[in-house]
């Protein structure tokens, strides 16, 4: 449940750290292709770049 009860915050933070260590070597999605003109609003492009970076969408890591 969110927000996390303060008494369980340490446990929650440990879980997040373990998850992030395990997820580091995996991608959550893979970029396949661009479709369309490629024109994009700068704010939307910033979101796409962040998404692709965090998901490792353009790398070689195996899909989780």
Q: Residue ranges of the domains in the chain? A: 6-55
Burial of 20-31, coded b for 16+ CB within 10 Å and e otherwise, reads eeeeeeebeeee
Confidence at residue 1, expressed as pLDDT on a 0 to 100 scale: 64
CB contact at 8 A, 54 and 18: no
- pLDDT tens per residue across span 9-47: 999 999 999 999 999 999 999 999 999 998 999 999 999
pTM above 0.75, yes or no: no
Asked if pLDDT for residue 2 goes beyond 90, the answer is no
């Amino acid at each position: 449940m969110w927000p996390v009860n303060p008494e369980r915050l340490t446990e929650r933070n440990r879980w997040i750290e373990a998850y992030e260590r395990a997820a580091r070597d995996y991608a959550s999605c893979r970029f396949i292709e661009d479709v369309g003109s490629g024109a994009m609003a700068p704010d939307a492009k910033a979101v796409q770049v962040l998404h692709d970076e965090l998901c490792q969408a353009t790398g070689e890591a195996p899909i989780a």
